[in-house]
Chains A and B, each alone.
Chain A
Amino acid sequence: MPLLGHLSLWVAFLVGLWGGITGFAGGAHRRDLQQSARHATFALFGALLVAVISLEIAIFRHDFSLEYVAAYTSRNLPTFYLWSALYAGQKGSLLFWATVLSLFAMLVQLMTSGRHRVYLPYVAAVTCAVATFFITVMLFAANPFERLAFVPLDGRGMNPQLQNPGMVFHPPMLYLGYISITIPFAFAIAALLSKRLDSDWLVAIRKWTLVSWLFLSIGLILGMWWAYVELGWGGYWAWDPVENAALLPWLVMTAFLHSVMIQEKRGMLKKWNLALIIGAWLLSIFGTFITRSGVIASVHSFTQSSVGYFFLAFLVLAAALSFALYASRLPLLEAEATLESMVSREASFLFNNLLLIGIAFSVLWGTLFPILSEAIKGTKITVGPPFFNQVNVPLGLALLAMTGIGPLIAWRRASIPNLKRQFAVPLTSGVFVLLILLVAGVRDVGALMAVSIGGFVFGTVAQEFARGARARHRQYGEPTPYAFVQLLARNRRRYGGYIVHVAIVLLFVAFAGMAFKTETEATLRPGESAELKGRDGHVYTFTHLGVSQYNALNRQVTAALIDVRRDGKAIGRLRTEKRQHVDALGNPTFEPSTEVGIMSGLRVDLYVVLAGLVNGTEQAVFRFTINPLVWWVWFGGFVLVIGGLIVLWPGGAPVAVKGPSSQAGYAVKLEAER
């Protein structure tokens, strides 16, 4: 099987090269080469699928003659995690990446409608070229089918922190997001190469862009959840370089999803939209470089290896080629219309884009600044969460405000009476929330601003839904609940987008909640208690009930049980563990890890960590944390995904797209009549 897998990689390499060459050479003219490039994507997927199946079989057979299988699995690793071992390490994840990319490359060839087929040879070429790069890295620097000189009795096993359901789903989701950006990028390059630079290519990539954004969003949320339940530091976002690297393409894609509407409706921002798509893809490769090169220290990164040089070279080459092509086509990218007013939806989208790209830049700048400082000044520095919070929180609040302002301003031009009418309810809503918070005694400026601006945005969305439903009720006589559903069903893109805005509000409010986190440490014997007063006004009592030790499938567990009371009333028990993972022979494989005990509620999460035991007795050291509003992060993430799915769902009202000569609708008809 490993031999078959290795051979499949070579076949995939040759097929990928062929697909790239024939796709670019076939271009818009040679039909035989175009067909060949199309078929190459199918063959590429087939070859890589064989490689994946070969590796999975080796993993499930515990074939420790393979270095990868020995390094990331063991005989007693639960079956659930044997599946995820495919992408638990550098080499396997590269294979996973290339295979999913080839799957997308094949799907785009099969699913693209006739109108956009002209782009497909170039799309096949770009996707094959990118996949070939990943296969090259595997063949020459990180081969998942590399054999060991001797066969160990058992493997090292999977890192305990990866043995969490969140880690089974988080990496594939994030990879799917990263990988699927290649499809819009390939269409952008195809549009540039074919010089068909009207808005048609945007229609072809609309769904792919949303798919990519949605996967990135799910990946980010799942990553936050994993960090919260597994890493044990009591938070979900630490501005770690790898977290930042995942956030960057998400921010740029979000900017694109907004600015693309201006190109569709007005034929403007062609240069900007192309630059955003190219930038988002380059940032996804940059994120991969950061994660895999070890150039910046991160808890999330793979071990340092030579693949970083491959990625750096590829990043530089891809950026140079893409922007050279882009620059050569600039004369063809003139806007078909200009802005009519500074106070218009178009202008507000531009400022929304400015903020999103500004935040992306500040995150990128902060992530790279330690390298720059060392290179330029020779001074090693740390750029940690205090820096990122200081720089990004004001920008984030401004962006949140724009989320509410944008939908209130009319397309083309907004009049003063119109603005007054539009802003009255949302502003009242925001001020009302602010007053409630002040009366409740909240004095944290950041939290006050986040929640009251959230109130404003929520007011905007509620007003949009209410007006839309009322209009349907008046026009069609539909009952209000039915009108609401119809509104959503008929214009999924607009109202699904508003649901995403509500999710963003929920997320910001939840983030603000962390300003009210309280924590303490305590040493407790069985029967002893520690008290902690939360900012929700309740006193929580944690009583240590005792420590038990037992063996599980691949670990030796030391568990502490805690009785929890709120204001003296029992509300449940929490269990926090130390886990010593062992191989099938009972030998320890990693250092002991900690499992957090979490009691999640709408207002607060109770978060208990067993630090360790005192002198080998049941007397234990604990950290108790009260985290406000964390549940709303996960709920906000859920709402965001629902909103994204509504936007993505097929059907609904068609969106009119401005063609190259349709700047003014009536002009086309007059011209035809002459």
Chain B
Amino acid sequence: MTDGTRREFLIAVGAAFVSFRQTVQQSDSQTAGRVYDPQRAGRAQAPITSGDTDARIQAIEKKLRCSCGCGLDIYTCRTTDFQCTYSPALHKDVLRLAGQGKTAQQILDEFVKEYGQVALMSPPKEGFNLSAYYLPAILILAAAVWLLWVLDRWTRDRKAAAKASSTSPPDATPEELERLRRELDQLPT
């Protein structure tokens, strides 16, 4: 091998090494290798956007029900059931409506208009739905008042009976009363 070819060879090896190192660094920080079988990892995901992590969007989605039948809200479903195709679509609808400058309430109203009240995670406080919110509390309060009245009546009856028995002459002989006192004294406190 001549000097020239040796130099060229060393330069080529050096360049290849530098290029390899750059490739490795690039793959570490900017690219990601393919996995053996992507199908095993479930539905492919899109990278997270700022809209996905927007607290306002999340708050709205927590008030809206996913229509896949899971019973969860849109936010919880799309961040839990990654096979669901409904919640990502509904999430896009929320983002679209938010992008149009609509307020949270307007977005909720749009969903109710589109899907009915079933779209909300809790029924609106109006009409028949008021009974859902207030009937338990009303019944508990009514029962508490009734209970207080019954307890009051019981204690009054008891006091009245005690008073009556203390004013009327005792239906017992003095010997019996004395024995009663002795028995009472012997009772453990």
A interface list, Cβ under 8 A from B: 231-234, 238, 240, 297-299, 338-342, 347, 350-351, 354-355, 358, 361-362, 365-366, 369, 373, 376-377, 379-387, 390-391, 395, 520-523, 525-528, 547, 549, 556-558, 578, 580, 591-592, 594, 609, 611-621, 623, 665-666, 669-670, 673
Contacts and interface: CB of A to CB of B under 8 A. Distances in A.
Interface string B41-83: 1111111100011000000001101000111110010011011
B33 A365 contact: no
Closest 3 CB pairs of A and B: A616-B38, A362-B136, A592-B42
Main secondary structure, interface of A, reads mixed
B37 interface: yes
Contacts of B158: 338-340
A387 B140 contact: no
Interface string B176-188: 1001100110010
Contacts of A350: 147, 151
B111 to A, nearest CB: 11
Interface of B: 28-48, 52-53, 62-63, 65, 69-73, 76, 79-80, 82-83, 116-123, 127-129, 132-133, 135-137, 139-140, 143-144, 147-148, 151-152, 154-155, 157-158, 176, 179-180, 183-184, 187
A380 B52 contact: no
A523 B73 CA distance: 22
Contact of A617 (B32, B137, B139, B157): B32
B140 A355 contact: yes
B139 A361 contact: yes
A612 B85 CA distance: 14
B132 to A, nearest CB: 5
17 contacts: A339-B158, A354-B143, A365-B135, A365-B136, A381-B120, A395-B136, A521-B48, A523-B47, A578-B40, A580-B40, A591-B83, A592-B42, A609-B80, A613-B41, A613-B44, A621-B48, A666-B184
A164 B172 CA distance: 73
Given A339-B154, A365-B132, A666 B71 contact: no
B148 A342 contact: yes
Given A365-B135, A527-B28, A613-B35, A521 B79 contact: yes
B35 A523 contact: no
B122 A386 contact: yes
Nearest to B140: A358
Contacts of B48: 521-523, 621
Given A354-B143, A558-B35, A521 B46 contact: no
A298 B72 CA distance: 10
Given A609-B79, A614-B32, 7 more contacts: A233-B79, A298-B71, A387-B123, A390-B133, A549-B35, A616-B41, A621-B46
A614 B47 contact: yes
